[in-house]
Amino acid sequence: MTAPTSLLILMRTTPYGDQQARAAIDLALTAAAFELKVNCVLLDAAVLQLAGNQDTSAGGQKNHLALLSALEIYDVEALYVHTPSADRFGISSASLPYFAQPLEDKQLQQLMAQADQVMVF
């Protein structure tokens, strides 16, 4: 069996509710550092990870939006936002940050088919 060369990470959780969103980012950064081709998709409630200007100064947490914006610098191929999920949570595609690309169901299926390994958080 050959080692996987591409990884698709599906994120499904809100940024600060538990540790899942953070764990997904840690995995993305680690896998990219080991030269895997990594793509990330924000699905369901994970689209809330992109909401507004997050100010975590009061809670002592890391700013999740800032972590997402850094993925590209650390060689993660792309960060996608599942458009139907964003619609459900009232997040318009016009309000998406520059580092997130919209993704329809059909394209999601293609990403899943192309990836050697898919992990869900």
Partner 1 sequence: MTLHTINKQTSDCVSHCLNALAENDTVLLIEDGVYAAMTGCSAAEHWQQLPDGVTCLALADELAARGIRGQIAATVQPASWEEFVALCTQHEKVISWG
Quick check: 107 binds partner 1 (CB under 8 A)? Answer: no
SS percent in the chain: helix, strand, coil, step 5: 40, 20, 40
Choose which of 7, 42, 48, 108 interacts with partner 1 (CB under 8 A). 48
Please classify residue 86 by burial: count the beta carbons closer than 10 Å to its beta carbon, then call 0-12 exposed, 13-18 middle and 19+ buried: buried
- Check residue 32 and report its DSSP letter: H
Choose which of 17, 109, 114, 120 interacts with partner 1 (CB under 8 A). 17
Quick check: 65 binds partner 1 (CB under 8 A)? Answer: yes
Stretch that binds partner 1, among 50-58, 74-82, 102-110, 112-120 (CB under 8 A): 50-58
Quick check: 35 binds partner 1 (CB under 8 A)? Answer: no
